[in-house]
Amino acid sequence: MNAIFTELDHIVVAAKTLDEGRAWATETLGVDPVGGGKHDGLATHNTLLKLDGNRYLEIIAIDPDAGAPNFPRWFGLDTDEVRSHIAHGPRLVAWVARASGADDAIEQLAALPDYSAKIVRPATRADFRWRFAFTPDGARIGGGVLPHLIQWDSPVHPCERLPDSGLALTSLMLGAPELERLTGTLEALRFADPHVQIGQSTATHLVAMLRTPFGSVVLD
């Protein structure tokens, strides 16, 4: 695993409906999201906003026209915890780290003893192909402070097709009561990104700071 590493790929905002998510982006961030689409088998759909670097913000919601999913949806969308979290508006719920360095990097990392998203499934949207690490019940990892893993199997990353939004990620702050466990898992995942900060807190806490046309905006 010497060549394998992970880095921040995208942050995830969940909404009750995608229309609500789009309106939230326009009103809160000053930018209209674009692109995205439907996720076969998961009964979700999304839209995207490019951030600085090779990172983006995903707005995701359950697709009411897709029927039942084939397995639990990602990012805890089926859980009471996340449904309560987004009941009064879109909220930051998770983040995703990109695995690189080997063709089976995501499979190797998902097999780590302390990592709970061990089910790696292929996914597609239009001509994008990727693999994603799911928890068995679809719940978030560590209450959202630990990343889900993605490995892109298409030559083009979504950021290469997204227009410049004028948004930039200033920081992503991870707070957890068991700081050593959080730090240890990130080290085992070979994760490094200067935008991600880790701190002790009484409860799990995920906070993103964005630079937007409206100034600094905090997402939590």
Domain ranges for the chain, please list them.
Answer: 5-164
Domain 5-164 belongs to what topology?
2,3-Dihydroxybiphenyl 1,2-Dioxygenase; domain 1 (3.10.180)
Do 107 and 1 form a contact (C-beta atoms < 8 A)?
A: no
Distance from C-alpha of 85 to C-alpha of 92, rounded to nearest angstrom: 9
Do 38 and 66 form a contact (C-beta atoms < 8 A)?
A: yes
Sheet holding 5-14, edge to edge: 34-39, 44-50, 56-62, 5-14, 91-100, 148-152, 128-134, 119-125
Nearest of 148, 147, 145 to residue 201 by alpha carbon = 145
| Residue pLDDT tens, the chain, 220 long | 569 999 999 999 999 999 999 999 999 999 999 988 999 899 999 999 999 989 999 999 999 999 999 999 999 999 999 999 999 999 999 999 999 999 999 999 999 998 999 999 998 877 889 999 999 999 999 999 999 999 999 999 999 999 999 999 999 999 999 899 999 999 999 999 999 999 998 889 999 999 999 999 999 9
Nearest of 109, 4, 3, 10 to residue 50 by alpha carbon = 10
State pTM to two decimals.
0.96
